[in-house]
Structures are given as C-alpha cells and as structure tokens.
Amino acid sequence: MVIPLGEDNTIMLKLYSFGPAANSMKPLLTVFEKGLDVEKHRLDPAKFEHHTDWFKAINPRGQVPALVDGDKVVTESTVICEYLEDEYPTEVALRPADSFGKAQMRIWTKWVDEYFCWCVSTIGWHRYVGNMVKSLSDAEFEEKVKAIPVIEQQVKWRRAREGFPQDMLDEEMRKIAYSVRKLDDHLADHEWLVPGQYTLADICNFAIANGMQFGFAELVNKQDTPHLVRWIEQINERPAVKQMFAQVELEKLGPRE
Amino acid sequence: MVIPLGEDNTIMLKLYSFGPAANSMKPLLTVFEKGLDVEKHRLDPAKFEHHTDWFKAINPRGQVPALVDGDKVVTESTVICEYLEDEYPTEVALRPADSFGKAQMRIWTKWVDEYFCWCVSTIGWHRYVGNMVKSLSDAEFEEKVKAIPVIEQQVKWRRAREGFPQDMLDEEMRKIAYSVRKLDDHLADHEWLVPGQYTLADICNFAIANGMQFGFAELVNKQDTPHLVRWIEQINERPAVKQMFAQVELEKLGPRE
C-alpha cells in the first residue's frame, strides 16, 4: 500500500469523480488496483456538481474525473491513469514494461476514448440523463446549461432534454454492435487486451463495457459475445474491483439501474 | 544519429506515410527531430495506395502512418510518436521527464486526436479530396470505396464526392475558430505547449496547424493569432523541420496548394 503523504502526513492525492462507471471508473479502478491511498470526492451528477464554480476552479472544463496531486491538477481519465503509473510505480504495474506492449495498450485506450465510449455514452444519456433534466422547468434548465463550459456538452444536455434524433441513435447502436464484436473477436484469442498482462487497456475498456451485459443484453450475452462476457466476469472477480464497488457507490441513473 | 540495425546491418525501422502534413507528419517529424535512420515509404493518396492489399497486410485498417520495427507493426500516429520515445531514447527527448509534464503533453496530443484534427480534416477533404474523386466514374469510385476497411472512412469518401452538408461544414469551421483561439491563448503565455520544453505536443499540433496561416488566413494571421503564428514560424525554423520538408515531398493536394 503506497500512501503519498504531505509534509504534515496528510494525504496528497484527491480524486474527484462520479461513481464507478464510464470515465470516472478508469482512475477509480486504477487506484484500487494499485492500492494507492486517495481521498475520494464523489460528485453528484443529478445535482450538476461538476458544473459548480468550486469544481470549475479545479477543472475549468467542468468534467470529472480530475486528480489533484499536491498543487498539480491532472484531467482526462486516460491521462490520469498513465500519470498514476508514471508517478506511483507500485508493485502492481498496469502498463507493460516493453515499448511495443505500451503501444498496444495506448491503441486500445485511444480507441475507447475516440470511439467506444461515445456511442455507449449517447445511448446512456438517451436512457437516463433525459429523465433527469425533463423534470426541470425551462428556466431552471437554461440556468444549468449556462454553467456548462464546453459547448459540445451544452448541445448534449439539450439533446438529452429534447430527445436525440432517431438517426443518431441508430448510428450509435450500429457503432456499439461493431465495438462489442471487435472486443469479442480479440478476446477470443487473448485473456487480456494486451496479450499476457492485465493493463490500463482492460481497465479503460471495462469502464465502458461493464454493465452492457444487462443494459445491452441483446448485444452482449453468452451466446453472441462469450469471450467479452468471460472477460467482464473475470474482471468483476478481481479483489480490487469488488473493493471498489463495495466502497464507492454507483449512481442510481447508471446503466445498471 | 541512432541507427537501429538488424543482424545483417539492414535498417529495421520502416515508416509508411503520406507527405509531411496532418497525421503523417507526426512520426515523420519525430524521426527527423530524433535523428533516427528510418526507411521512408511515401504512399500516394491520389492512387489510393493506403487501401491496397499489400498495405492492408501491414495495417488492416488501411490507414497511414504505420511504423514497422523488425517484426512489429505500430499504428496510430500519436502512439507511434510515443513508441519512438519509449524504444529509442535518443539525446533529443521529445517527452518531458517528469510525470506531470508527460500528462500535460498527453492532454494536448489527445486534444488534437479527438478534436482539432477532425475539424481541419473535414474542411481539407471538402476542398481537396472532393476534386480527386469527382473525376472517377461511379463504377471506379464504388470499387475504391469497397477497398476501404473502415466504414466511417467510406462515409467520408462518399461525402467528399457528393459534397459535405453545409451545416457540417459550418460546424467544423466553428470548431476550427475555437481551436486556433485556444492555441493562441495558451501560446500567449508559453513558448511551447508544455511549458519549458519542445515536445510531441508541439509536433502533433504543428502537424495540423502548419499551413493554416495560408489555407485559413482569415482565422490564423498575425493580427488575430500572433502567438500561434509566432509558434508556427518558430517550429518552421528548426533544422529538423527544414530537413523534413526538403527530403519528403508534400502532396500537391495538400493544404498548401
């Protein structure tokens, strides 16, 4: 157990996130796997806490997760994970030691960030976030939107309220079907995404894929994607994963509802 | 000068790319800056060489750049750049030594890959690639499209031929204006993107931004974005950049035409 402590023995690492799902899960699971002692601040998306002034003073983009390490702030979930590997090289290494292994890991984490997470996210917003904002009055909603720093996120909140266009939902479902096939095909031949080692590639993909066996059961199931389901179950059996789910509450609006 | 040689003194590193622009420029400039001896294979996009069977045997996605290092293939431009830093730690280091510097570098390279490169690319395709494919017959075009492995790339080729929707072009121009403002604001206070060091963050952003002072002169100019122009000119003055442009030809369809 590594405990990064300040001069007065106070914990230096603070992680701001939602519960253990999607991008918030990536650094959460990383710190649990590495046994790092981190002060965890769980923001409530239903209270729009990530768009408050106090949080935007930490991350001006108003997005979780964000890691505070002493006087430094690191944002972007995948970047935080690699930062933790760079700065806290514990016995549990979640990145391959060799250059080619690192490259394979980064191709998989890049793919999640640029493709897989977006299609799953749109459907997640369509199903859960819409309900969250439809109860607001127009004036309340506009005030919430005004506090969002990233214009593309403003657009996403508006679409969640008004309803996503059907052709967009269809296209995202096509991408999800392609994504789970790609994962299943790869995992048919490999225990982990980077052959031979459980890495950040697995953590970052698991952060998006976990729960799809319930929320997207028509696509992710033992019949159609046996290797992907095996991999999801295998990761859920890891002590760090059980510990994370036991200690950090998942939002009620999450994909497991 | 580092020369990775095989057992029989043959060069081990082979880089497949287009000319020095956009994603192809990232690893090209990296090998020139690091002084690595690399066998360069320049593919011709106008001949659709990246969609040929021989190249898809190297990268099944039919995309350049791709690096071949002995029996290993590394794809994805940004991943290739970090691979070169990991595997060939030359005197010229293009990645900060400290963890926080690495994180800042990765936030900037990630931003290029997820945002900046896409909006600039769409306008580039609209202006240049359309002309390239409009001269083909319907049958010839369909045969070209059939050879493209990535479905989203097939869509892009079709749009280039049929014409991109105007609302998409408007939105991409908005994103470009936002992007160059973001870069200029940051470079107003810093010589390089990661404070204190010329890194892959500069290389990967320069790969997209260079030439915009001509192709997007209404947005990138000494009046509106003086710091961005200063940074572009400063990088163009580097010996490695001059050497790269002298040795590797830029396509005629590139943004400098």
Answer whether A74 sits within 8 Å of B103, measured CB to CB. Answer: yes
Q: What is the pLDDT of residues A69-127, one digit of tens each?
A: 999 999 999 999 999 999 999 999 999 999 999 999 999 999 999 999 999 999 999 99
Nearest chain B alpha carbon to A96: B86
Determine the CATH number of domain A13-87.
3.40.30.10
Fold for B99-237, please state it. Answer: Glutathione S-transferase Yfyf (Class Pi); Chain A, domain 2 (1.20.1050)
- Residue range(s) occupied by CATH 3.40.30.10 in chain A: 13-87
| CATH code 1.20.1050.10 region(s) in chain A | 99-238
Which residues in B lie closer than 8 A to residue A76 (C-beta atoms)?
Answer: 106-107, 110
A158–B contact, CB cutoff 8 A: no
User: To the nearest whole angstrom, how far is the Cα of A86 from the nearest Cα of chain B?
Assistant: 6
**pLDDT, tens digit (0-9, with 9 covering 90-100), for B60-102:** 999 999 999 999 999 999 999 999 999 999 999 999 999 999 9
Determine the Cα–Cα distance for residues A82 and A94; give it in Å rounded to an integer: 9
- At B251 the pLDDT is 83
Q: Mind telling me how many Å the CA of A68 is from chain B's nearest CA? A: 11
Match 């099944």 to its residue by tokens.
Answer: B60
Percent of chain A with pLDDT over 90: 89
Comparing CA positions, the residue from A17, A85, A20, A70 lying closest to residue A241 is: A20
Chain A closest CA to B111's CA: distance in Å? 10
A97 and chain B in contact, CB less than 8 A: no
- pLDDT confidence band for A254 (50 / 70 / 90): very low
Tens of pLDDT, residue by residue over A206-217, are: 999 999 999 999
Q: Which residues make beta-bridge pairs with B15?
A: B40, B67
Q: Which of A137, A124, A120, A111 is nearest to A209 (CA)?
A: A120
Contact B79 A110 (CB under 8 A): yes
**Cα separation of the two ends of chain A:** 33
Inter-chain CB pairs, A–B, below 8 Å: 61
Closest to A78 (Cα-Cα) out of A44, A130, A114: A114
Q: Which residues fall within 8 angstroms of residue A250, CB to CB, at 6 or more apart? A: A19, A20, A21, A256
Chain B hits for A178, CB-CB cut-off 8 Å, are: 151
Q: Does B70 touch chain A (CB under 8 A)?
A: no
pLDDT higher than 80, residue A1:
no
Low-confidence residues of chain B: pLDDT under 70: 1-11, 252-257
DSSP chain A: -B--B-TTS-B-EEEEE-SSSHHHHHHHHHHHHHTB--EEEE--GGGTGGGSHHHHTT-TT--S-EEEETTEEEESHHHHHHHHHHH---SS--S-SSHHHHHHHHHHHHHIIIIIHHHHHHHHIIIIIHHHHHTS-HHHHHHHHHT---HHHHHHHHHHHH---HHHHHHHHHHHHHHHHHHHHHHHH-SSSSTTS--HHHHHHHHHHTTHHHHTTTTSSTTT-HHHHHHHHHHHTSHHHHHHHHHSPPPTTSTT-
Question: Does A243 touch chain B if contact means CB atoms closer than 8 Å?
Answer: no
Asked: is A99-238 a CATH 3.40.50.1980 domain? The reply is: no
Of A76, A78, A79, which to mutate for an interface test with B (greatest number of B Cβ within 10 Å)?
A: A79
Q: Please judge whether A99 and B86 are an interchain contact, meaning their C-beta atoms are less than 8 angstroms apart.
A: yes
pLDDT of residue B244: 98
Q: Which residues of B touch A110 (CB under 8 A)?
A: 76, 78-79, 113
Across the interface, do A99 and B80 touch by the CB < 8 Å criterion?
A: no
How high is the ipTM of this complex?
0.94
Q: A150-187, pLDDT tens digit by residue? A: 999 999 999 999 999 999 999 999 999 999 999 999 99
Tally the residues of chain B.
257
Residue of B nearest to A86 (CA): B99
Q: Cβ(A149)–Cβ(A89) under 8 Å? A: no
- Check CB contact under 8 Å for B82 and A103: yes
Nearest in space to A75 (alpha carbons), one of A8, A147, A149 = A149
Report CA dihedral (B193, B198, B203, B205) to the nearest 10 degrees.
Answer: 10
CB contact under 8 A, B110 and A113: yes
CB contact under 8 A, B107 and A80: no
**Residues A36-64: b if buried by 16+ CB within 10 A, e if exposed:** bebeebbbebeebbbbeeebbebbeebbb
pLDDT of res. B132: 84
pLDDT, tens digit (0-9, with 9 covering 90-100), for A189-205: 999 999 999 999 999 99
What does the pLDDT read at residue A192?
98
Contacting B residues, span 195-234, partner chain A, CB-CB under 8 Å: none
Question: A157 burial class (0-12, 13-18, 19+ CB within 10 angstroms)?
Answer: buried
Q: Does B100 touch chain A (CB under 8 A)?
A: yes
Shortest CA distance from A100: residue in chain B: B83
User: Distance, in angstroms, between B87 CA and closest chain A CA?
Assistant: 6
CA A24 to CA A221: how far, in whole Å? 24
Which residue is closest to A68 within chain B, CA to CA? B100
